[in-house]
């Protein structure tokens, strides 16, 4: 979607990255721009102990949701904000239309407690009452915590070289297809069994499994479109709960990787096209209902799928992706996404 971003950020409520608004190149708006019927999710993260690279974010603790509902009374109309913590409503506040500052004050108070703010617009909240959700994930550093190609490269003694090229590709500094061919060439000669060994090292991102299970429980679908490899996703598919996936295919001859891929490279364009196909095929037929597509990625090669989604999320993302997303999620957990969807 990422076309009307006025409801995304609020002056008094910016996250700990104070330059988020400037980085994304957009003006920050006021709380009065939040449509009645929207869902506001408040989330926060703690930091793990300091490392050489500084503090590391860990899973968010207890996402809190405010559901903004239209209400009316004698001579006035306004909003009701239902605050839920861990799935339990614990507070309801009514504010008339003259008092949007009271919402701003409430959210500012949440911000003072260390909460970040995310908003799902009213139209998507309403659609999710009747339409299935299709979750479309990038895989490396999004659905799982690792970069698989770097794990493979470690077996070839070339992890640092491959990691540097991966980082540049994710920042959008070099062409993704060219970078993929360069990185895969470093894997030439590795035995086939290394793929299974590496797949066992993959760790789902915190909250990913719960998000997918909740989507399935509500009739939704979980898909992945990856610049990684089909041979790895074939192993991970059931562990992650994926219904559909698309990725690159490593060429294997005589049980060894040749250093090449077979077929079309899954780049930014292909990711966007695949999301569109899933949107067209994974809705309901009785009655015909278009799915609500939520895309989650972290790199420049996720730009087209994030733009084409009904709701695009930049997850701990590179700067190149952030301006194209509806939400910038800068914690090491997907739990706030589940709360946004009302699960």
pLDDT of residue 217: 96
- Residues 42 and 76 both lie in one domain: yes
Residue 40 has pLDDT above 70, yes or no: yes
List 244's β-bridge partners, or say none.
Answer: 223
Residue 188 has pLDDT above 80, yes or no: yes
- 127 found inside a domain: no
- Residues 85 and 158 both lie in one domain: no
- Residues 112 and 149 both lie in one domain: no
Backbone angles phi, psi at 137, to 5 degrees: -105, 140
- 251 found inside a domain: yes
Q: Which of 5-9, 96-100, 307-311 has the lowest mean pLDDT?
A: 5-9
The confidence band for 286, taking pLDDT boundaries of 50, 70 and 90, is low
Look at residues 158, 113, 321, 136 and name the one whose alpha carbon lies nearest to residue 246: 136
Q: Which of 25-39, 46-60, 225-239 has maximum average pLDDT?
A: 225-239
- Residues 145 and 82 both lie in one domain: no
Q: Which of 64-78, 213-227, 277-291 has maximum average pLDDT?
A: 213-227
Pick from 101, 122, 143: which residue ends a domain? 122
Distance CA 183, CA 285 (A): 42
Q: Which of 53-57, 95-99, 163-167, 195-199 has the lowest mean pLDDT?
A: 53-57
- 1 found inside a domain: no
- 165 found inside a domain: yes
pLDDT of residue 105: 66
- Residues 221 and 188 both lie in one domain: yes
- Residues 196 and 230 both lie in one domain: yes
CATH code: domain of residue 315: 3.40.50.1000
CATH code: domain of residue 111: 3.30.70
Q: Which of 34-38, 64-68, 119-123, 252-256 has the lowest mean pLDDT?
A: 64-68
pLDDT of residue 185: 93
Q: What is the tens place of the pLDDT at every residue in 220-266?
A: 999 999 999 999 999 999 999 999 999 999 999 999 999 999 999 99
Residue 313 has pLDDT above 60, yes or no: yes
- Residues 171 and 317 both lie in one domain: yes
The confidence band for 42, taking pLDDT boundaries of 50, 70 and 90, is confident
- Segments forming the whole domain that contains residue 56: 7-122
Residue 330 has pLDDT above 50, yes or no: yes
Higher per-residue confidence, 65 vs 36: 36
Higher per-residue confidence, 187 vs 62: 187
pLDDT of residue 300: 93
Higher per-residue confidence, 304 vs 338: 304
- 29 found inside a domain: yes
Q: Percent of the chain, pLDDT > 70?
A: 68
pLDDT of residue 106: 66
- 24 found inside a domain: yes
Look at the chain and report how many structural domains it folds into: 2
Q: Which of 100-109, 111-120, 334-343 has the lowest mean pLDDT?
A: 100-109
Catalytic residues: 138, 140
- Residues 143 and 101 both lie in one domain: no
List 68's β-bridge partners, or say none.
Answer: 81
- Residues 287 and 226 both lie in one domain: yes
**pLDDT averaged over the chain?**
78
Q: What is the tens place of the pLDDT at every residue in 65-88?
A: 555 555 444 444 444 444 444 444
- Residues 114 and 195 both lie in one domain: no
pLDDT of residue 95: 47
- Residues 203 and 278 both lie in one domain: yes
- 2 found inside a domain: no
């Amino acid at each position: 979607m990422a076309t009307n971003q006025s409801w995304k950020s609020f002056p008094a409520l910016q996250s700990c990255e104070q330059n988020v608004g400037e980085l994304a190149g957009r003006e920050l708006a006021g709380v009065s721009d939040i449509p009645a019927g929207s869902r506001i999710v408040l989330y926060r993260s703690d930091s793990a102990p300091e490392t050489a690279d500084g503090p590391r974010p860990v899973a968010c603790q207890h996402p809190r949701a405010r559901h903004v509902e239209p209400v009316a009374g004698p001579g006035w109309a306004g909003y009701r904000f239902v605050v839920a913590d861990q799935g339990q409503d614990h507070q309801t506040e009514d504010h008339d239309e003259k008092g949007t500052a009271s919402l701003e004050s409430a959210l500012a108070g949440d911000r003072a407690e260390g909460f970040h703010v995310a908003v799902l617009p009213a139209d998507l909240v309403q659609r999710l009452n009747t339409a299935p959700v299709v979750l479309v994930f990038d895989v490396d550093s999004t659905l799982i915590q690792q970069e698989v190609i770097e794990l493979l490269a470690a077996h070839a003694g070339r992890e640092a070289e491959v990691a540097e090229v991966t980082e540049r590709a994710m920042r959008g500094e070099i062409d993704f297809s060219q970078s993929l061919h360069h990185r895969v060439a470093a894997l030439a000669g590795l035995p086939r069994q290394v793929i299974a060994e590496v797949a066992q090292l993959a760790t789902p991102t915190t909250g990913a499994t719960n998000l997918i299970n909740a989507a399935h429980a509500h009739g939704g679908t979980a898909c992945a479109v990856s610049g990684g490899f089909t041979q790895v996703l074939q192993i991970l598919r059931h562990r992650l709960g994926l219904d559909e996936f698309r990725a690159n295919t490593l060429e294997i001859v005589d049980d060894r990787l040749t250093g090449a891929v077979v077929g079309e490279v899954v780049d930014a364009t292909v990711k966007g096209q695949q999301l569109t196909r899933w949107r067209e095929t994974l809705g309901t037929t009785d009655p015909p209902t278009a799915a609500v597509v939520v895309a989650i990625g972290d790199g420049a090669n996720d730009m087209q799928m994030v733009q084409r989604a009904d709701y695009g999320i930049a997850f701990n993302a590179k700067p190149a992706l952030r301006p194209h997303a509806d939400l910038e999620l800068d914690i090491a957990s997907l739990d706030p996404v589940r709360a946004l969807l009302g699960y």
